[in-house]
Amino acid sequence: MARTAWEVYDPITGLTHQLSVNPQSFKATVHKGISGEKSSAGQRLLFEGRESPTTFSFNGVILDEDQMNTLKAFALNRNQLKMTDDMGSQFWFYITSFQPQRQLKRQVPWYHTYTMEAILLWWEA
């Protein structure tokens, strides 16, 4: 089976970038706001309040300078981006954090691990 690369698309510039190595993990977190009050009888009443923004994070490996520069450029973007993963799911998101960390590997001069965090604006699974 052929490898399907994750793609990140910037609608402002029209640039689409395929990740040379797919992320190792992807985690989306949905938080619901629950508040409560006591009734006059002393029973607890719970209410679903406004939801916190859905966040997600993914991490992986950077093997070349081109991918490092592209991920840095996406992280510095001030607009939403669209990502399509290897299973065809699409995510519109806004990057809030990008943390590359260099790892010493003599065979691969641009070996970095990274973590990227974002606010999920919309997704289609």
In CATH, what number is assigned to the domain containing residue 11? 2.40.30
For residues 101 and 113, is the Cβ–Cβ distance under 8 A? yes
* Inside any domain, residue 96: yes
pLDDT tens sequence across 69-113: 999 999 999 999 999 999 999 999 999 999 999 999 888 888 999
What is the number of structural domains in the chain? 1
102 falls within a domain: yes
Q: 98 in a domain, yes or no?
A: yes
The answer to whether position 1 is within a domain reads: no
- Domain assignment present for residue 2? The answer is no
CB 51 within 8 A of CB 40: no
For residues 93 and 62, the answer to whether their CB atoms sit within 8 Å is no
The residue range of the domain holding 49 is 7-124
CB atoms within 10 A of CB 81: 21
Q: What are phi and psi of 37, to 5 degrees?
A: -140, 160
pLDDT tens-digit series, residues 34-65: 888 888 988 998 888 778 889 999 999 999 89
